[in-house]
Amino acid sequence: MTLTEKILARHAGVDRVSPGEIINAKVDLVLANELSAAVAIGVMRSIKGGGRVFDHSKIALVEDHLVPARDAQSAKLAKLMKDFAAEQQIEHFFDVGRGGIEHVVLPEEGLVAPGEVIVGGDSHTCTYGALGAFATGMGSTDIAAAFLLGEVWLKVPATIKLVYDGALGHLVYAKDVMLATVGALGIDGATYRALEYHGSTIDALSITGRMTMANMAIEAGAKNGIFHADAKALAYVRSKTERDFIVERADADAVYERVLRIDVAALEPQIACPHTPDNVHPVSQVTREEILVDQVFIGSCTNGYIEDLRVAAKILEGKKIASNLRVIVNPGSQKVWMQAAQEGILTTLAAAGCAVNTPGCGACFGGHMGTLADGERCLSTTNRNYVGRMGSPKAEVYLGSPATCAASALTGRITDPRVLELAGV
């Protein structure tokens, strides 16, 4: 069995599962944010006998999408979830100022461990595969059912094995590798499938780099993306929690639907051009024409980690961003914000002319704090660039790494960070 199959079989209480089979799996954690929770709570209240959640210690509720509240309606949803958390005595409730983006917060707080099954009312729940968990996003009715039953029905996905080899070049990051992967698979290339990441490149990646990669599994349509928990992952998890967990490994004779080999040694920084995340091109090709940018956004559950802010700050240190654009930074969580403050990163970014926001989703989904106007163009470290994703349907969103975003912030147009460095800017 593949890693995903092993985890699902154990949670379904059976020896074996095969792709296509429908199972009922016990869940170790159910997640929702204020948008998905609002609908889920309504569904839960409409269910006869649905008064209490199955286990108040196995639910995480994070206020992140529209907080601090944008308007009265958003405030109502935030309050709805907060009141629900109090009523149900939910142990893991994160209000604004104490959390951040759900997918950054949960691993940080030790709520994710290898071998676990986690479902969330958010498509980027797949991020936790970085730590060897099976994690997948669902809609609110599914989440309401999981709140009550502590289990979900799942169709066992077939697994695509991704094997990465080679060392990453200078100023090339996990984000570039994953953009290239989404480009190779296509946005529906892994629909209903699991992605299992392997290879020497992956072994060398940091935990947050792996989170960036697992995060974007959904951008290829995948149900989940998963890494084997190695010593690095175990050390990370052990530093956050003492609870027991079971580390699974794929069997030597596991059956994969497909194996995709990707050599990253020659990989350049990558850019996803409008309006789909699989419209991916090497930066050298994209920069053949001048693409001026109105906004650069650094943040999100893809690239809102301390490492990402360090990369951006290193490039922006002692410099000023170009006069034609604005740069918006949302650290991924309160902890990331505090770490960045301690390291002087927030001051560096602010001194360069960046607007540093409070942790949360911010501009990522066009909700608030950096929404784009008609005709505006944004280069962003986020994960999706569909029409209207960051505001006006007449705006354009390009996706890149924090290094590419920071370099472009200095020049005002999409820029290869390696070229900028060679130019000594």
Partner 1 sequence: MEQKLRGHAHKYGKNVDTDVIIPGKYCNLIDPVELGKHALEGLDPQFTAKVKAGDIIVADTNFGCGSSREVAPIAIKGSGASAVVAKSFARIFYRNALNIGLPIFECPEAVDAIENGDEIEVEPATGVVRNVTKGTIFEAAALPPFMQALIEAGGLVPYVERRLGGM
Where along the sequence are the contacts to ligand SF4 (CB under 6 A)?
64-65, 101-103, 122, 124, 300-301, 361, 364-365, 382-383
CA distance 333 to 105: 6
Shortest distance (Å) from residue 383 CB to ligand SF4: 5
Shortest distance (Å) from residue 124 CB to ligand SF4: 5
CA distance 408 to 287: 11
CA distance 180 to 313: 25
The interface partner of residue 140, options being partner 1, ligand SF4, none and the CB cut-off 5 to 8 Å by kind, is partner 1
123 binds partner 1 (CB under 8 A): yes
CA distance 215 to 132: 13
How many C-alpha atoms does 123 have within 13 Å on its Cβ side? 12
CA distance 404 to 414: 8
The interface partner of residue 370, options being ligand SF4, partner 1, none and the CB cut-off 5 to 8 Å by kind, is none
Pick the closer one to partner 1 by CB: 190 or 403: 190
Pick the closer one to ligand SF4 by CB: 8 or 31: 31
The interface partner of residue 101, options being partner 1, ligand SF4, none and the CB cut-off 5 to 8 Å by kind, is ligand SF4
Of positions 19, 79, 276, 351, contacts partner 1 by CB under 8 A: 276
From 119-127, 170-178, 238-246, 316-324, give the range in contact with partner 1 by CB under 8 A. Answer: 119-127
CA distance 149 to 52: 10
Q: What φ, ψ does residue 118 adopt, rounded to 5°?
A: -130, 130
35 binds partner 1 (CB under 8 A): yes
Shortest distance (Å) from residue 56 CB to partner 1: 17
Q: At 180, list the tokens.
A: 């290239």
53 binds partner 1 (CB under 8 A): no
CA distance 25 to 117: 8
How many C-alpha atoms does 369 have within 13 Å on its Cβ side? 26
Closest CA to 390 of 263, 271, 296, 267: 296
Q: What φ, ψ does residue 397 adopt, rounded to 5°?
A: -120, 130
The interface partner of residue 233, options being ligand SF4, partner 1, none and the CB cut-off 5 to 8 Å by kind, is none
Of positions 13, 42, 344, 375, contacts partner 1 by CB under 8 A: 42
Shortest distance (Å) from residue 339 CB to partner 1: 28
388 binds partner 1 (CB under 8 A): yes
H or E stretch covering 402: helix 402-411
Pick the closer one to partner 1 by CB: 31 or 213: 31
3-state secondary structure of 135: strand
The interface partner of residue 383, options being ligand SF4, partner 1, none and the CB cut-off 5 to 8 Å by kind, is ligand SF4
From 31-39, 252-260, 321-329, 404-412, give the range in contact with partner 1 by CB under 8 A. Answer: 31-39
Q: At 110, list the tokens.
A: 């030790």
Sheet holding 224-227, edge to edge: 224-227, 193-198, 158-165, 258-263
Pick the closer one to partner 1 by CB: 56 or 240: 56
Q: At 29, list the tokens.
A: 């954690």
Pick the closer one to partner 1 by CB: 279 or 358: 279
Pick the closer one to ligand SF4 by CB: 164 or 398: 398
Shortest distance (Å) from residue 169 CB to partner 1: 31
Instruction: Please enumerate in sequence order all residues whose Cβ is within 8 A of that of 240, keeping only pairs 6 or more positions apart, or say none.
Output: 107, 108, 109, 110
The interface partner of residue 301, options being ligand SF4, partner 1, none and the CB cut-off 5 to 8 Å by kind, is ligand SF4
